[in-house]
Amino acid sequence: MSRERILSAIRQGKPDLQPLPDVIGFPSNIADADLADTFLTMVKTNGGIGVRANSLDDVRAQIASEYDLTLPTLSHVDGLDLNNFTPTENLRLLDDLNLVVLEGSVAVAENAAIWFNEATLGIRALPFITLNVVAVVSARNLVGTMHEVYKRIDLNTGFGTFIAGPSKTADIEQSLVIGAHGSKTMTVFLMP
Amino acid sequence: METTVRTTHHAEAAAAFLRDEENVDWHNETLWFVRSKRDKAATLLPEWEDLREQASRIKNHALSRLDDYLVELEKNAQQNGITVHWASDAEEHNRIVLDIMRQHNATQVVKSKSMLTEECHLNPYLIKHGIDVVDTDLGERIVQLRNEPPSHIVLPAIHLKKKHIGDLFHQHLGTDAGATDPQYLTEAARIHLRQKFLLADVAITGVNFAVAETGGFVVCTNEGNADLGAHLAKVHIASMGIEKVIPKGEHLGVFLRLLARSATGQTTTTYSSHFRRPAPGQTMHLILVDNGRTRQLASPDFRNSLKCIRCGACMNTCPVYRRSGGHSYHTAIAGPIGSILAPNIDMKQYADLPFASTLCGSCTNVCPVKIDIHQQLYKWRQVLGEAGAVEPAKKVGMTGMDVLFSRPSLYRFAGRAGRRLMKLFPSLANNGKLNPWAIHRDMPKPPAQSFRDWYAEQEKK
């Protein structure tokens, strides 16, 4: 059986035990006071739009002015009911979605990656199939680095993803194009 | 053991690539630009070198307990509802994929970038068995439509200009004739591939990192194609080389900081997705593939290459890769790291590759997990030489030099004869047919005297 053959070949050929480093990761180079600014700068670098918002009413007003809310919209953020679309069992119908609004549980200042777990996504395909994504993140949930974020997230969920901006590609002569297969825009609202 | 093998693939293929001088210049400059972006991203982190060291040590540890971590990964993945398969070689891997497809009566599969499936030649196998397989990374789709393999592991269509892609899309996707705007062409590919995503029965992805502790795995893309495929299809098959397993979730922080910075100079990939359990109503399979990796692990000289996280930094910096193009390496993974991995799979077929390097060490300097790439290429040359797998002309030359350099008087005579010959018949020395060294260069004028003679003269003064 291949399993036994592979494991036995590893046992015969592997090197002597090499120790793991005692401490994994490095302290952040970003001061706490700069986390929000660094994060918003990185959102822009990633091709997204970063906006400070004071309240959910503020977020709602800004979304309404930026996006056509008569088009299929789904929000999974508590207190931000913008739903005019009922997903069915057939995930392929999600292809109609114009806008998905999601709450990021933790976000990383050094690269503007925002963590979405299965609970906040509801349906895994949502942020990938929609044309536009809005993320709402609290400044209290900002960390400096990828090392810190792994201390804050639970990897024991079925699925979770870091999203850092709209989808992009540079496969045609290295020209950056925003909007490959995933969302074409990503707006991030940073709440207090 | 003496074997006669054709070992000049790389040089011949590179010569063909070099005929389009403008394209070569573009290829060279573009990849150097990507390499420069990597440098900029690296220098922004004061701890960069320590980060590389940490990554290297985590990988060393993981390889030293590879059996334990694979068993742990398997156990946890199974507990999470993932079906785990083991494949000794490419053929077994492909058969497992086909069996899964048949169990689900599936005929359409979307694939996102997985160099392992390239290594296993999965596409032709599936097509032969009546499966419609579509590569969904834009660059991979482009090369698939051209019936070519990717020429770079991160930038699969880097050998093509937008004009080539415009013509290709005009022919296959019905875009306007002569259109070359990347935005327009990407939009056309998006519409075309969206249909494929929506109709696929099965999605195949690669694996960037598998975590023993959680039984899950991470897939990184910028386009979102792996996720679109995996979440919409009823069945998700993830294929990974056995060396991709790391012990714990916290180690991902180290590798994710290094991967995109080393690859393209981005601080992170747009999507870094952590799969751990199939979604309700869906099925998830994980295939653990050996295909020569245990043999590489058993070799102290070459096992270090199994630390590779497939960022492509060694290719972007390699002066040979940049000027010869990825296809000249005639293997799934081109460039310096591919030239270490390929001879392990087939020593005869890939005997030319360890020679496609200047051994300048630039690859080693940029490698995020500190693989001693140029030293391994040097070691391969010796292994191949001992196995008799070195190109005959090269071997004759080496034997000749061995004779020459070990006999000082013969060396002095040859020097005198050479200088005289070059002075009397310069066209002979510059004839590329007689002297391959002169193919791309003019030979210098011979000096009037040797350094040794000059030195002796100075001593007398």
pLDDT digits (tens, 9 = 90+) for B346-395: 999 999 999 999 999 999 999 999 999 999 999 999 999 888 888 777 77
Nearest C-alpha in B relative to A111: B267
Give whole-number Cα distances, B260 to A75, B38, B264, B271, B336, in Å. 30, 9, 6, 11, 19
Alpha carbons within 13 A on the beta-carbon side of B435:
14
Predicted local distance difference test score (pLDDT) of residue B4: 42
Domains belonging to chain B, first-starting first, are: 45-291 (3.40.50.10420), 408-459 (no CATH)
Predicted local distance difference test score (pLDDT) of residue B5: 45
Give the pLDDT confidence of A162-181 residue by residue, as tens digits: 999 999 999 999 999 999 99
Could you tell me what percent of chain A has a pLDDT over 90? Answer: 96
- Contact present, B271 and A114 (Cβ < 8 Å): no
Q: Would you call B270 and A161 a contact, using CB atoms and an 8 Å cutoff?
A: no
Predicted local distance difference test score (pLDDT) of residue A130: 98
Span A100-111, average pLDDT: 98
For chains A and B, CB pairs below 8 A equal: 259
CA distance linking residue B232 with residue B103, whole number of Å: 18
CA distance linking residue B261 with residue B82, whole number of Å: 31
Q: Would you call A24 and B157 a contact, using CB atoms and an 8 Å cutoff?
A: no
Instruction: Identify the residue whose tokens are 């996006």.
Output: A67
Question: Collapsing DSSP states into helix, strand and coil, what is residue B102?
Answer: helix
Alpha carbons within 13 A on the beta-carbon side of A169:
31
Question: Residue ranges of chain B with pLDDT lower than 70?
Answer: 1-8
| Phi, psi values for residue B234, rounded to 5° | -70, -25
| C-alpha closest to that of B159 among B27, B264, B28 | B27
**Reported confidence tier of residue A88, pLDDT bands at 50, 70, 90:** confident
Give the pLDDT confidence of B93-150 residue by residue, as tens digits: 999 999 999 999 999 999 997 899 999 999 999 999 999 999 999 999 999 999 999 9
**pTM for the whole thing?**
0.94
- Contact present, A69 and A96 (Cβ < 8 Å): no
Span A100-117, average pLDDT: 98
Domains belonging to chain A, first-starting first, are: 33-190 (3.40.50.10420)
Instruction: Identify the residue whose tokens are 């002979």.
Output: B428
Predicted local distance difference test score (pLDDT) of residue B8: 62
For residue B440, count other CB atoms closer than 10 A to its CB.
Answer: 9
Q: What is the mean pLDDT of chain A?
A: 97
Q: What one-character DSSP code corresponds to residue A44?
A: H
Give whole-number Cα distances, A130 to A41, A106, A125, B325, in Å. 24, 21, 8, 37
Predicted local distance difference test score (pLDDT) of residue B387: 87
- Bridge partners (DSSP) listed for residue A132: A99, A185
Using CB atoms and an 8 Å cut-off, which of residues 300-319 of chain B contact chain A? 300, 303
Out of B80, B138, B268, closest to residue A113 by CB: B268
| A119 part of contact set with chain B, CB < 8 Å | no
Out of A9, A91, A162, closest to residue B294 by CB: A9
Q: Please report the ipTM that was assigned to this predicted complex.
A: 0.98
Residue by residue, DSSP assigns B220-289 as EESS-HHHHHHHHSSEEEEEEEGGGEES-TTHHHHHHHHHHHHHTS-SS-SEEEEE-SPPTT-EEEEEEE
